[in-house]
Structure formats: structure tokens, C-alpha cells
Amino acid sequence: MESLKLLAKGAEADIILDLNWNGRKAIIKRRCIKTYRHAKIDEEIRRLRTIHEAEIIHRVKEAGVPSPIIYQVNPNKAEIIMEYIEGTKIKDLIKNNSDEENIKIFKQIGVQAGRLHKANIIHGDLTTSNMIQSGEMIYFVDFGLGEISNEIEKKGVDLNLMKKMLTSTHYLKQDMLLEAFIDGYTQSTGTKAIEVLTRVEEISKRGRYIEKE
């Protein structure tokens, strides 16, 4: 047990670092028991969500987007064991990077987000907290809210979350970073980007209307 370290305790899952899983570092994602649900129902929900997330990550790799290698899936324990990515969260890099470095990073993020959407993969939590730079690569992680959909609305919601995150977390650089992201996304998706980006604006306006109410 000494090799285990709790990295994060979320509403849905614990993220645990195992320093010596079969001789290597690994991340254990273990879905939490929800006592407010009937035990059998809770067990089945956690089992299905574990399988679903593993399938999403497999599709992400097929789409050409870097993501952790899955070592083991145990649906009965609601547990996925996967590669530990040595690197730094994009969220923590931005403030210390030059503008040129950040533009390069966000264009790359946009390209990869576009690859996901071309494959009809919705990340569900597209923020800089779920992206890790390791060497020259940017890995997308945490697909717990991911789904498969070709709906423009869901792709728009995905990108709108990125936009809102930049406004709240990286507001001093938001315009520059968003422009680089959109540049990369458009490069990846071509003319299909127009419809999704138009929907982002509609979603954003809906949010402002609700706030005024």
C-alpha cells in the first residue's frame, strides 16, 4: 500500500498514483460507491461507466489524439489502470510560457479537439486541467464524461466549455488563446468548423440571457 498515493478525490472517482504497478508508475481511476443509490443499481452504473470510458479512450487513440495507454480494466471493481503521463498540466504552464509558446500549444489543442469531433467523440470536460504536456506531445485525459455523438449541439457545448474556461481561468490571455485554438480546430475539421463555431456563439448567448434573467 505504500506505493499508492491519492492524487485527487472527485465526485465520481478517486485518482490514485501507484508508484510500482508491475514495475512502473500507473494511474488507478476508481469510481466511488454512491450510498444514496440502491447497492445493485450503483454497482451496475459504475460497471457500465467504467466500460464506457475505456471504450471512449480506445476511440480517442484511433482518432490520433494522444491519451494514456490502458493497462487493465476491471468493471466489477469500477476501476481502470492506465499509463501515468509524466508532464505538466496545460493549466499550470500558461502563466509561465511566452505568448509564442502558448499560441503553439493552443493551436495543437485545437487540432486535437478537432480530431475528436471528426470522430464524433465528445470530451465532456474540455479544459486545460485535463490536458498534459509531455515533451512535444499534449495528452488529453479524463474521459469520464465523454460520449459518442455527431450532434452539432454537443460539439458546440464541448467548445463552449473551453471558451468559458479561458474566460474564467486565463482571462488575461483569453482572446489570443481562443484564436489559436479555433485556428487549430478549423485546420482539423475544415468547413465543418463553421457550423460548430456558430453553435458555440448561440450557446454562449443563451448563457448570457439566462444570467440576466
Are the beta carbons of 132 and 141 closer than 8 angstroms? yes
61 CB-near residues (< 8 Å, 6+ apart): 67
d(CA 13, CA 77): 12
> What would the 3-class secondary structure string for the chain be?
CCCEEEEEECCCEEEEEEEEECCEEEEEEEECCCCCCCHHHHHHHHHHHHHHHHHHHHHHHHCCCCCCCEEEEEHHHCEEEEECCCCEEHHHHHHHCCHHHHHHHHHHHHHHHHHHHHCCEECCCCCHHHEEEECCEEEECCCCCCEECCCHHHHHHHHHHHHHHHHHHCCCCHHHHHHHHHHHHHHHHCCHHHHHHHHHHHHHHHHHHHHHC
Identified catalytic residue from 42, 125, 158, 183: 125
Tell me, yes or no, if 125 is annotated catalytic.
yes
179's grid cell: 484564436
**What is the set of active-site residues?**
125
